[in-house]
Amino acid sequence: MTIQLPVSRAGTQSDWWRGAVIYQIYPRSFADSNGDGVGDLPGIIEKLDHVADLGVDGVWLSPFFTSPMKDFGYDIADFRGVDPVFGTLSDFDRLVERAHKLGLKVVIDQVYSHTSDQHAWFQESRSSRTNAKADWYTWADCKPDGTPPSNWQSVFGGPAWTWDARREQYYLHNFLSSQPDLNVHHPEVQEALLDTARFWMDRGVDGFRLDAVSFLMHDPSLRDNPPVDVPLKRTRPFDFQHHLFNKSHGDIPGFLTRLRKVVDGYAGRFIVAEVGGELADGEMKQYTHGPERLHSAYGFNYLYAETLTPQVVRDAIAVWPGAPQEGWPSWAFSNHDAPRHVSRWAQASERERAARVCMLLLLCLRGNIFLYQGEELGLPQAVIPRELLQDPEAIANWPQTLGRDGARTPMPWTAGQAHGGFSQARPWLPVPDEHLPLAVDRQAGDDESMLHLTRRLLDFRRAEPALRLGAVTMLDVAEPLVGFEREHEGRRLVCLFNLGAEAVAVARPDWTVLQSVGGATNAVLPPLSGFVAERA
């Protein structure tokens, strides 16, 4: 069945995003239309019916911009160009038009903290200390002994400073050395970034996901970061520091306010920020506080959780109690930067049950929901041999860091076709054999499949304002249970989940179960099960 809707499922109101479910597409791995082994924009257009049939409100596209692909699109060489591997600007316009005809909003990544070293801005900036863009990036003199100006370390390993002989200075890069940090303190840089936002809004984009927003600004005095007394992990030098000065500067909210003002000049647009790090909870609240900053933010409460426990759920919900002037949360269990949650949270024998209870839990949370491509199929994390790794983080830290490739493998569309129907050519990453039985065509014909369950639960969330918009109150239940109540305009729904390995009796005949997974009833919750019920 193909859904044809003239407007977004969430409606045409300016707050369509509140409680929306947005499907993340990683363009390299979604669908390849031209047989070069890499997904592209025309491929996405061809498969948008699948996304619309799920019942989501919109799509989020990871970067498709002009890039040397050192970090697979997060190293942008032209903020306003489409990389030829993905297609053309006309293809993007067609994608937006098709999505809107299907009732889907379009959210795209914006990466404002850094560019590629191939960007024209950086090429000019590094040419001298006196050119027009000399201060558009973060340059600093070395210490008297020639060492970098501070002890800052990059996320991907090694110092966050690289020497440039042309300027006889170091430049800052919080990620790869080929990803120099913009100096977003500079007014002209801010104006250039705001013009970029206008460019995409003018093309009909409905919203932005801001990448690595806490890296937008650094401490101009370049103070050293203090050490962590006992690092929780020691896979990278980055892990040995409290990141107080290379990021999270107090002027970031001011720039976000300027961006929000630009976006508010366009009807019904939306901005969500990715916020990571040890200060993420406070920064998410700060960046979304009041009506003049961002609409929403998400952190890594679930994305980096090694296990799913009742305490993880309680702690995440507690960050967003719904206080006055508080922003609106967003949630994701999986994305392109984190191992797929069914593999993090469940053994192989339990993954089907885990995928189902996690889907129900995710869709019951208060906030916006991000589904990552393949999540609707219950895809597990792929194991990529070392010789086929593409992710620079995985290659640099192997085998201590498995990296992101295992979550970025191509979508399996047709089980019986080569490469799962993703491409006629060998894909940039292999399609795992264990993904083929979970292919879209296999699940589409099975009413009991994870795909059908996802559609049913999305229909249910869309029909229940209490789940999309309602307040949340935690239930006082003992582990391994976790539960909460959602309430909106007098409608009260109980959401209860068993995250443990043993059945738990509940005996609530006064509750009418509306949706359940894992065999859950108002009498008993089997392991890895849950339900949504209406109180009598």
Q: Would you name the residues annotated as active-site residues?
A: 211, 274
Task: Summarize the chain as % helix, strand, coil (round to 5).
Answer: 30, 20, 50
Which tokens go with 345?
A: 């949270």
Which tokens go with 488?
A: 């909106």
d(CA 79, CA 61): 14
To 5 degrees, how large is the angle CA 466–CA 104–CA 199?
A: 120
Contact criterion met (CB below 8 Å) for 276 and 299: yes
Q: Which amino acid is at 468?
A: R
Contact criterion met (CB below 8 Å) for 66 and 118: no
d(CA 106, CA 509): 43
Residue 38 three-state SS: coil
Residue 108 three-state SS: strand
d(CA 279, CA 517): 35
CA distances from 322 to 10, 161, 533 (A): 21, 41, 23
Which tokens go with 341?
A: 């949650």
Neighbours of 455 (CB within 10 A): 17
